[in-house]
Amino acid sequence: MNPIETFDLALPHGITLSCRACGPADAPVIVLLHGFPEAAFVWDEVIVDLGTRWRCVAPNLRGYERSSAPAEVEAYRAKHLMQDIAALAAAVSPGKPLAALVAHDWGGAVAWNLAVQKPALMERLVIVNSPHPGTFLRELKTSEAQREASAYMNFLCRPDAEQLLAEDDYARLWPFLRSMNGAPWLDAATQQRYREVWGQGLTGPLNYYRASPMRPPTETDPGAMALDFPPEFVTVKDVPTLVIWGEGDTALPPGLVEGLEQFVPQLTLHRVPQATHWIVHEQPALIAELVATACR
């Protein structure tokens, strides 16, 4: 079994990403992106499994763990997040496309945009429970159920969200993880890993929500209702794409994958009925198997 390495990668534009990695240095590279309120460690079991054949690199996104955490909300807009991952890909796989870009939740939001705008960076895309911007916008505009399921986003945009989430040993954060199926995977050791990450700062993670208008409307903010973009601006034209979807995800219901082929012509959709949004924790061996099969 290959050990997990940790290192800090300084990017040319002044951002440093703390990374976890596994696998031979000369092997084809898979990059894995985490979501909220997670960190790169959530991929550990997956990268150890895949590390027998691929070089796997899981960065902490900007604002998380020991990665650079700019103070300005604007620094968390999509163009800056994409710049980070494009620069990381160039550094860890110089002169070659990634064997795969794998991404969950907020990492998926970055990965979808990269696949649309910079398809040459990757040979294939693997998305895990992260809505495509085309279907997410459609559902936020037309589905009251989706707006209700996404209402937490507006709470996370509050100026006092950091303080509220940190109170009483993160009493308001644990339900994000436990609200779906009780999170039996969230043992004491995993809880402590989350505490260590959250204790290094919540402002960066929350700024992802503050910087994006893709959220339900409120009385004072139109949110997604003010957005509109032509389908061709969000279509993944040149990248074979595997979407893995835990169907017990109550924040991102399965309706978000309906009509996905309109935006992803080379789509393979793998539904997992007995999984939730936290499928990376729940079924890491399945994720590794599906990624490996996609990369063969």
pLDDT at 2 over 90: no
Strands of 16-22's sheet in order across: 5-10, 16-22, 55-59, 29-33, 100-104, 125-128, 241-246, 267-272
Task: Kindly report whether the global pTM for this prediction surpasses the value 0.95.
Answer: yes
Cα angle value 40/42/43 (rounded, 5°): 80
| Mean pLDDT (whole number) for 110-124 | 98
Question: CA 9 to CA 50: how far, in whole Å?
Answer: 21
Report pLDDT for 174: 98
pLDDT band at 51 (very low <50, low <70, confident <90, very high): very high
Report pLDDT for 1: 66
| Mean pLDDT (whole number) for 31-48 | 98
Which residues touch 240 (CB under 8 Å, ≥6 apart)? 123, 124, 125, 266, 268, 294
| Mean pLDDT (whole number) for 26-33 | 98
| Mean pLDDT (whole number) for 168-186 | 96
Active-site residue set: 105, 209, 277
Mean pLDDT of the chain, nearest integer: 97
Percent of the chain past pLDDT 90, that is, above it, reads 97
pLDDT at 140 over 70: yes
According to the CATH classification, is domain 5-295 in 3.40.50.1820? yes
Q: Which of 200, 198, 211 is nearest to 81 (CA)?
A: 211
Enter the tokens of residue 32.
Answer: 């894995």
Amino acid code (one letter) for 204: G
Enter the tokens of residue 59.
Answer: 């960065």
